[in-house]
Amino acid sequence: MKKFFGGLIFVILFVCNSHLFAENTPLGLWVECEGRLATLSSVDKIDQMIADAKSLGIKDLFIQVHRGNRAWFDSSYADCAPYKKFVDKYKVDPVKYIIDKAGKNGMNVHLWINTFRIKKNINAPIIKALGTKILTRDGKKRLILNYPKQDLPDGGYWLDPADLQVQDYLIKLIDEAVIKYPNCTGIHLDFVRYPYRVPFYPGSQWAAGHGFGYGVDSVNRFKQKTGLDPFSMELTRENAQLWDNWRRDHVTSFVKRVKETCAKRNKILSTASVCWADRAYLSAFQDWRRWLEDGIVDFISTMNYSTDNRFARYISREAITSKAGSKVYVGLGAYLLTKKPLSLSEQIDDALELGADGVILFSYDVIKPNPELMEVIRDKSKSNSQ
């Protein structure tokens, strides 16, 4: 009799827990605008992506619509050549087409927007409009445009996040996207931080001029406010803290402005965030724990990309325990696990067990060509929705 009730309790717990994924823990998918699949280049590819996402049990699609200051929507600010090329060929708006079709299949669509990194696009409209002074510099006054391509952080040029013209420009671009697509679920920000190099430095006191964020506008306004010049001031603990907080607070103020823009249109705001909370805070000046505590974002997604399952679990736990009143999604790097599909399964299970509010997979470009990954995700979704 004890064995019977023990087994019954196990079954009840299994059934109850199996519904957590479907009801409370949506599965998301990052869909790149460019890359090996070029998903946003044709109607057929979009149709296939929607069909695949549905078969995988995807609830939230994160569709990349702005990258390198190029837009896959009709933008007045970014280079919308990709959008125009699509419309000329198919006579439909690619983003509206995705939103409408995804909605009919029970999926939400978040507009994924790369912010301060502009790849290697020296012809970006924002540079043409505002000049190269809006690009970031390092602590030795070296403009990022002058870096050898092999030394560029994250492989691209970066706008200076504390430049107010940059922030105004991006806010207008984001507001434009939200207005044009009233049926989208929300905005998803990426690269909403400062670039940093590896090995990384925990703040300007130790960076010896190798850190970034010394843009013209930012430095001038910091000097006016504090009387200190970040290039020449003595790097005492107090001075370094003032300068680091200045950069960190400007990223946060930008996210707040995006939140206000989204709130006006009844849209949610999420961010793709550096998964190591302390590195995010100290080196990327991305204080996502504060964003969660203060309700500045609706949720963050940690970019927890690792082949080490135990390490991935540690990182997931740290983020989830920081979520305060907001939500934490765990982003997992499927692209690293093409030959280890069972590791992806284990990382999903760990995130759910730890209490993640969602799991997002990076990315469709890698998952689609790998039947084993597709099968693992599909089985995981089915087993958790029965």
Could you report the per-residue pLDDT of 134-191, keeping only the tens digit for each? 999 999 999 999 999 999 999 999 999 999 999 999 999 999 999 999 999 999 999 9
Q: Give me the percent of the chain exceeding a pLDDT of 90.
A: 89
What mean pLDDT do residues 251-260 have? 98
Give pTM, 2 decimals: 0.93
> Does residue 21 register a pLDDT over 60?
no
Cα-flanking dihedrals φ and ψ of residue 120, to 5°? -110, 35
> Does residue 349 register a pLDDT over 80?
yes
- Residue 162 is predicted with a pLDDT of 98
Contact 135, 157 (CB under 8 A): yes
- Residue 13 is predicted with a pLDDT of 34
> In which band, very low, low, confident or very high, does the pLDDT at 200 lie, cut at 50, 70 and 90?
confident
pLDDT digits (tens, 9 = 90+) for 227-241: 999 999 999 999 999
> Does residue 198 register a pLDDT over 60?
yes
3-class state of residue 358 by DSSP: strand
Distance between the two ends of the chain, CA-based, in angstroms? 27
- Residue 24 is predicted with a pLDDT of 52
> Of 175, 161, 169, which Cα lies nearest the Cα of 213?
161
Domains of the chain: 26-383 (3.20.20.80)
> Does residue 3 register a pLDDT over 70?
no
